[in-house]
Amino acid sequence: MATPFVAGNWKMNTTISEAIELARELRPALAGIDGVTRVVCPPLVSLAGVSAEFIGSGIGVGAQNMHSEPKGAFTGEVSGPMLKDICNYVIVGHSERRQLFAESDEMVNRKVKAVRERNMTPVVCVGETEQERDEGLAEERVAAQVRLSLEGLSAEAIGSLVVAYEPIWAIGSGKTASSDDAGDMCAFVRSTVAEQWGSVAAEDVRILYGGSVKPGNIAGLMAKRSIDGALVGGEALDPDSFASIVRYWM
């Protein structure tokens, strides 16, 4: 069984000083949980400061986005070479990037490859809208995102990735997929990987659930064998709540 993996996505919240203070509160709160991969993803401007606070703690740091090119005339973007010395992970293809910034599966695929080229781990997000779910298209949409976002990668590469299933209708809405629905879709993601890249890759890839994860629902979600951890949004900004989610595995 894969090591449990919990990542906190702070999104566009916290100033630099607030982020560093939050990191200082999180470090002791997340101490002594060595059996869980713990990652925080602060805003870009705070990455270096937060990374410095976590030196020697075993807590990983991730970026929330990255351009696929190593350099160039891309005003406002950040590249792999800029990130590789200050973080270990990069969230790629979050639904807010896909919806608000028109990122296609092909763009996500280029970013996934670029993250790997810099020896960082992509956390690749997939998920359906409420309309797609209501129309019975959820599996079709998620399968297409998995295949296209990861196209061209070897089975070994797939096995080292993190995939986060986040139903778009549950992100920031307070709604959470039922544990059965979340478990079924994460199992479907794994079966899609198995069909495309083989059983070993499907067994090795870590599959997270994201979408209004809270201390009160983590136990039900993680009881599903197909779910290896969580991508946490709003609750990641509260040290006690985030630590409570991580400590589920203790």
Catalytic residues: 94, 166
Task: Determine how β-strand 206-210 pairs with β-strand 121-126.
Answer: unpaired
Q: Name the pairing type of β-strands 5-9 and 162-165.
A: unpaired
Q: Please tell me the distance from the alpha carbon of residue 156 to that of residue 171, in angstroms, as a whole number.
A: 30
Q: Are 29 and 57 in contact (CB under 8 A)?
A: no
Kind plus residue range of the DSSP H or E element containing 126: strand 121-126
DSSP code for 219:
H
Closest CA to 13 of 209, 164, 168, 233: 233
Note whether 217 and 183 are within 8 A (CB): no
Extract the tokens encoding 33: 């949980």
